[in-house]
A and B are shown apart, each in its own frame.
Chain A
């Protein structure tokens, strides 16, 4: 999964101790879990299954309520199913599905800086800017509107972040969104400290 190096560098910049791992002992001992990811939905799920991470993450996040942040594909994989490139079951923590962005006037991928509309301010309250970097062709349609923490307009309103108890997911890349992104990452760790 491609952007894991960038996420690590952002965490290092914030002096947050971190390790990139698929090892169950390390994941069990960690205080927080971040799942970054670029690539296709089915490839992402295959990778999680290959390393036995679906059950492990479900136990850690759903049963043990460990603070969790999914970024981009890492957020999309929380859905019940995806469609890239073919229908695939996701982890199912958030009711909804991931579908291709369908808006005739616009370019796909939705690529660049766009400002989000905050619905649930839990992680967004102290930010000096709401401009975040997006790069995606698929988006998460969430069944329960109460779980949508922010949206972004790209011809249609797209879910730009979800939040459910200890689970937070962003469609945009905080690790690439300069000061706004770093502030958001910081507040994820501080609020869940």
Chain B
């Protein structure tokens, strides 16, 4: 049986792991390769590395870091941040990344998803969506959550999958950094609207939150950062807890 995935996310700035509360107040929490290796040993099913400053600083690739990661870690990993062209993706995949995630660039140029999936196959193209609930509706936000749009999240997810996204990484900005749990309603809505796997992100604070997002949010994978970085939850303990709650888990 296919298992639910636990994915630590490592936000990267200048080659270092960082985590911001609501994407601000950035603090260093370690070396990406060291931390990634630790998580893999603890039973992480995949890793995500996001260069959170890339969109602003127009930095193109993390090729050197990706090469180091691939050399040391033998579970799948996704790299994102400032990716906007076939050439960017080609460089990262050749350096050893398994998947890449695109966000702002795909909203601005939706055809990018068609070009990427045609060239590399949709299995390695992850669409990241930063979403925020605005009184009545969940909308898509750009540039690490700083720029609002009038695009509805579910509609964008559906279009992206039609164009070639092979997976959706959905981050709720309302929940991110709060430790009050994942956004179950929008995760479930996106999950039911698309045929590809959905990774829920933002708000994990307890082990029960993971049970909730798999059961009620219908997520295929759950991503978190601070609770792992600060060892508030250890991945091996989380997996034991999930198994006890009858969630299908590897290991």
A contact set with B: CB distance below 8 Å: 2-3, 5-6, 9-10, 12-13, 38-40, 106-115, 129, 131, 133-137, 153-154, 173, 175-178, 181-182
Cβ A113 vs Cβ B71 within 8 A: no
Q: Which residues of B sit under 8 angstroms from A182, Cβ to Cβ? A: 74
Sort A-B residue pairs by CB-CB distance and give the 9 closest, nearest first: A5-B96, A113-B250, A114-B2, A2-B93, A39-B121, A176-B76, A135-B123, A131-B250, A113-B3
The CA of A175 and the CA of B71, in the complex, are separated in Å by 11
Which of B2, B93, B197 is most buried by chain A, counting CB atoms within 10 A of its CB?
A: B2
- Chain A residue with the shortest CB-CB distance to B95: A5
B28 within 8 A of A: no
Contact with A along B194-214 (1 / 0, CB 8 A): 011100000000000000000
28 of the cross-chain contacts (CB-CB < 8 Å) are A2-B93, A5-B94, A6-B70, A6-B74, A6-B98, A9-B71, A9-B74, A38-B124, A106-B2, A108-B195, A108-B196, A109-B122, A109-B196, A109-B197, A111-B166, A111-B220, A112-B2, A112-B3, A112-B5, A113-B5, A113-B250, A114-B2, A114-B3, A131-B251, A133-B75, A153-B1, A176-B74, A178-B40
- Chain A residues with Cβ below 8 Å from B3 are 112-114, 131
CB distance from B6 to the nearest CB of A (A): 10
Task: State whether A6 and B40 are in contact (beta carbons under 8 Å apart), knowing that A38-B123, A111-B197 are contacts in the complex.
Answer: no
Q: How many residues of B contact A (CB 8 A)?
A: 31
For A111, the closest partner residue in chain B by CB is: B197
Selected from B5, B95, B251, the residue in CB contact (under 8 A) with A129 is B251
Q: Which residues of B contact A3 (CB under 8 A)?
A: 98
Partner-A contacts on B (CB < 8 A): 1-5, 40, 45, 70-71, 74-76, 93-96, 98, 120-124, 166-167, 195-197, 220-221, 250-251
Given B5, B93, B98, which contacts A176 in the complex, CB threshold below 8 Å? B98
Are the CB atoms of B96 and A6 closer together than 8 Å? yes
Give 14 new A-B contacts, CB below 8 A, not counting A2-B120, A115-B1, A135-B124: A5-B95, A6-B98, A9-B70, A13-B74, A109-B166, A112-B220, A113-B5, A114-B2, A131-B3, A131-B251, A135-B76, A153-B1, A177-B74, A181-B74
State the majority secondary structure of interface residues on A. Answer: mixed
Chain A residues near B70: list those with CB within 8 A: 5-6, 9
CA distance A12 to B167 in the complex (A): 30
Q: Which residues of B contact A2 (CB under 8 A)?
A: 93-94, 120-121, 124
CA distance A39 to B120 in the complex (A): 5
Which B residues are in CB contact (< 8 Å) with A108? 195-196
Closest residue on chain B to residue A72 by CB atoms? B123
Q: Given the complex, which residues of B lie within 8 Å of A136, measured CB to CB? A: 123
How far does the Cβ of B225 sit from chain A's closest Cβ, in whole Å? 20
